[in-house]
Amino acid sequence: MASHRKPRTPMRVTSPAVGFTTVALASVTLLSTQSATAAPSAPKPSIEEVRKKVDDLYRQAGSATQEYNRAKDSTAEQQDKVDALLEEAAQRAEKVNEARRALGNYAAAQYRTGGLASSMTFFLADDPQSYFDQDQLMKRRSGQQEKAVSDFRTQQLAAAEKRTEATKSLEALTESQEDLRTSKQTVQDKLAEARTLLSKLTAEEKARLAELERKKEAEAKKKAEKLAAEQAAAAKAEADKAAADAAAAGSDAAPGTSAGSTTSASTKGAQALAFAESQIGKPYVWGATGPASYDCSGLTQAAWREAGVDLPRTTWDQVNVGTRVATADLQPGDLIFFYDDISHVGVYKGDGMMVHAPKPGAYVREESIYYMPIYGSVRPG
- Separation of alpha carbons 65 and 71, rounded Å: 10
Count of Cβ atoms closer than 10 Å to residue 34 Cβ:
9
* Candidates 51, 184, 344, 379; catalytic one: 344
- Separation of alpha carbons 250 and 299, rounded Å: 48
Q: At a CB cut-off of 8 Å and minimum separation 6, what does 119 contact?
A: none
* Candidates 57, 191, 296, 353; catalytic one: 296
Give the bridge partners for 374, in sequence order: 338
In the residue annotation, 344 being an active-site residue is answered as: yes
Count of Cβ atoms closer than 10 Å to residue 354 Cβ:
27
Residue 142 phi/psi, 5-degree rounding, is -65, -40
Count of Cβ atoms closer than 10 Å to residue 17 Cβ:
9
Contact 111, 79 (CB under 8 A): no
- Separation of alpha carbons 115 and 133, rounded Å: 17
Query: CA quadruple 306, 312, 316, 317: dihedral positive or negative?
Result: negative
- Separation of alpha carbons 246 and 255, rounded Å: 7
Q: At a CB cut-off of 8 Å and minimum separation 6, what does 149 contact?
A: 103
- Separation of alpha carbons 359 and 344, rounded Å: 9
In the residue annotation, 296 being an active-site residue is answered as: yes
In the residue annotation, 356 being an active-site residue is answered as: yes
DSSP letter for 177, please.
H
* Candidates 59, 162, 184, 356; catalytic one: 356
- Separation of alpha carbons 10 and 340, rounded Å: 90
DSSP letter for 155, please.
H
What residues are annotated to the active site? 296, 344, 356
